[in-house]
A = this chain, B = another copy of it.
Amino acid sequence: MNLLLVDEAEISGAGEVVLVGTRSKHVREVLRADVGSELRVGCIDGPIGRARVTAIENDRVHLACSFDGAPPKIPPVDLLLALPRPKVMARLWSQLAAIGVGTILLTNAERVERYYFDSHTLRPELRREPLLEGLSQARDTRVPHVQVCKELKPLVEDRLDELFPDHRRILTDPAYRRSIRETVRARPGKILVAIGPEGGWSGYERDMLERHGFTGVSLGPRTLRSDTAVVAILSIVHDALAHP
């Protein structure tokens, strides 16, 4: 835990927070904090600051927090992802939050099985914990917005322009040759990355995405499993934005 995350509703007017449960246990047993210890704290979707341990009684840790840092910037990368298998998606939440993604749109595709959408891991209350875990790891407070859109076509045709009016759009698929870097570097600003399912987007889907402003790019000659590919692609996009 590189940043202790607290919800705005947990903070009293004077900046007092009382931790119980997992976070209290972590602060006492892993960080071995004692009265007087200082911790890095972040308000979920808000600013970062410092917390001082003022008291520890049984399983309750009392903190005096001051949130004097600025809220972290929302990451300049958004993701349109063909929903992976539930086991893979469950592993991805914390990694996506740690790498830094503004919005995650999960969508259908020809090579996505419909039953993936029934998975527990998509439930807001079950994905929140791994998302916060990833943020805490990366010292961020901005919870990625997650939207589940069961139909790719209406999403692409009717909603993307409104959701991402100014984004450069890229589409990764082994069908293309252009590099991610070359395309991202060509125009600065925010990026929407579309990543297909295991087995790739269909020809129909690629055409539709291209017609709606997506530039096709390739990750290179090696085909990666979808969880590895997502981490690899987002890392390269972030790197290309940071070091054009």
Contacts and interface: CB of A to CB of B under 8 A. Distances in A.
Interface string A204-244: 00000000000000001111110010011101101100110
B181 A243 contact: yes
Identical subunits present:
2
A220 B232 contact: no
A242 B95 contact: no
A94 B225 contact: yes
A222 B180 contact: no
A236 B233 CA distance: 9
A173 interface: no
A2 interface: yes
Contacts of A236: 235-236, 239
Nearest to A3: B223
B243 A179 contact: yes
Contacts of A233: 235
A228 B133 CA distance: 13
B94 A222 contact: no
Nearest to A179: B243
Given A179-B243, A243-B182, A98 B235 contact: no
Interface residues of A, number: 30
A146 interface: no
A81 interface: no
Nearest to A239: B236
A238 B223 contact: no
A225 B95 contact: yes
A78 interface: no
B99 A228 contact: yes
Given A98-B228, A232-B232, A179 B222 contact: no
Contacts of A139: 221-223
Interface in A5-22: none
A243 B180 CA distance: 9
21 contacts: A2-B223, A95-B225, A95-B228, A98-B223, A98-B224, A99-B224, A99-B228, A100-B222, A137-B225, A138-B222, A138-B224, A139-B222, A179-B242, A179-B243, A220-B239, A231-B231, A231-B232, A232-B232, A232-B235, A233-B235, A239-B239
Given A99-B228, A139-B222, 10 more contacts: A95-B228, A98-B225, A99-B232, A137-B225, A138-B222, A138-B223, A139-B223, A140-B222, A179-B243, A235-B236
